Amino acid sequence: MEFYQGWVQNEIAPFSNLKYKSIEYPTINEKELIIETKAATLNFADLLLSSGMYQSNPKTPFVPGFEVAGTVKECSTDSKFHVGDRVVAATTVFRSGRFGSFGEYCVASENLAYKLPEEISYEVGAAMLMSYLTSDFALHRRAQLKKGEIVLVNAAAGGVGISAVQLAKIQGAKVIAAVGSDEKKKFIEQFEPDLVINYQKENLKDVVEEKFGKRSVNVFYDQVGGEPYEEGVRLLSSEGRALIVGFASGNIPSQLLSYLLVRNISLMGVFMISFENDDKEYLETRMKTIFDRYLSKEIKPIYKTINFDEIVKYLEFIGSRKTIGRIVALR
C-alpha cells in the first residue's frame, strides 16, 4: 500500500488533535482528480469539520482542507484535464471525502476544478476560489442583485465578506459593511463601502436607519448566524432577500417565519457546491469571470501566507475570529 504525508485527524475532536503523519494514498472514482497540493486555504468550516459540526463528516482517519491550488497528478482517461495541469479546486471533503488539501495530495471533483491561468499564482488562486465564487453565486445567481440596491454584508472583513463587498460594488450596489472591531473597520474602508459599522460599539439598526431609512436593506449577506442574523433580517425591506452563507457563530438561527411572511422576505440558501451536478457550466463560466476580474485588477483578494507546518496554529487563530482576509498554507 502506498502512503503520503498530511495533517491527519484520527477521530472527531478539536482540530488541535491533528497530527502530521502518513495516510494511505487515495484511489479515485470517475470524474475525480488527485491533485498535488501547492497551496491550501484554511476555513472556519475546517473547525466545524474537526468537531463534527459540519453538515457532512468524513469517516476517520481523514485529512481536512476544503480548497486547493496545485497540479493534477492523476485523472481518468476521458478527463478534460491532463496530468500536470495547474488547477484550483474544491476537495471532496465537501461531500464527506477523506482526502482534503492539508496533505501532499488531495482528491477533488472534476466539476469543481478549474484551470488556473499561468498569470495567476497558486497562492492567489487558493485565496480566491471559494470566497469569490461563493459571493458571486450568492449575489449574481441567488439574489440577482440590481444596480442601486442596498446590500448589508455581515463579517465584512473576513475572506468571504471582503469578496462580497467588492463584487457588490462592481454590480453597482450600495454596500453596508458590518465588522467586529475598529481595526477591521479601518481596513475595510479601502474598498469604499457606503457605510461601515463596528457592531461591537455601534447599534446596527440605528446607524443603518439614520443613513438609509427604516427597513431599507434589499439584500442581507450573512455568514454568521445567531443574533447577528436576526438583527440583519429585521433591516430588510419588503421583498428583501436574506442570503444564508454560513454559521460562523456556531449558532444556527431560529427562523423568524412570521416576520418573513408579513414582509414578503425571501430566505435563500447559498451552497454553490450543490451546482457540481446541477449546473457545472454556470460555475465554470463564473470562475472565468472572477479570474478575468483579478487580471484586470477589478478585485483584490486579501490573504496571508503561512508554512504548511503552521496550519494548526492558524486554525486556532481563525477560531479567535481576529483574522482579516484569508489564510493560505504553502507547500
**Rounded distance between C-alpha atoms, residue 139 and residue 147, angstroms:** 11
185: in domain? yes
Residues 103-117, mean pLDDT to the nearest whole number: 96
Residue 14's CATH number: 3.90.180.10
65: in domain? yes
Quick check: 276 pLDDT over 80?
no
Task: For residue range 12-60, list pLDDT tens digits in order.
Answer: 877 668 899 999 999 999 899 999 999 999 998 898 888 777 777 888 9
Same domain, 124 and 163: no
Long-range contacts of 288-293 (CB under 8 A, 24+ apart): 288/114, 289/136, 290/128, 290/132, 290/133, 290/136, 291/116, 291/117, 291/120, 291/128, 293/170
pTM for this model (two decimals)? 0.93
Longest dimension (CA), the chain: 65
Same domain, 40 and 111: yes
Question: What residue type is 164 in one-letter code?
Answer: A
Confidence band, pLDDT 50/70/90 cuts, at residue 252: low
135: in domain? no
Residue 233's CATH number: 3.40.50.720
Confidence band, pLDDT 50/70/90 cuts, at residue 255: low
Same domain, 151 and 257: yes
pLDDT for res 253 = 59
254: in domain? yes
Quick check: 114 pLDDT over 60?
yes
Strand partners, 327: 42, 304
Quick check: 226 pLDDT over 70?
no
274: in domain? no
**Rounded distance between C-alpha atoms, residue 126 and residue 65, angstroms:** 11
300: in domain? yes
Same domain, 112 and 19: yes
Tell me how many domains the chain contains. Answer: 2
Same domain, 154 and 212: yes
Same domain, 100 and 207: no
142: in domain? no
Same domain, 37 and 117: yes
pLDDT for res 23 = 96
Same domain, 86 and 197: no
Domain that holds residue 94: 3-128+280-330
Quick check: 325 pLDDT over 90?
yes
Q: Tell which of 269, 293, 314 closes a domain.
A: 269
Same domain, 265 and 284: no
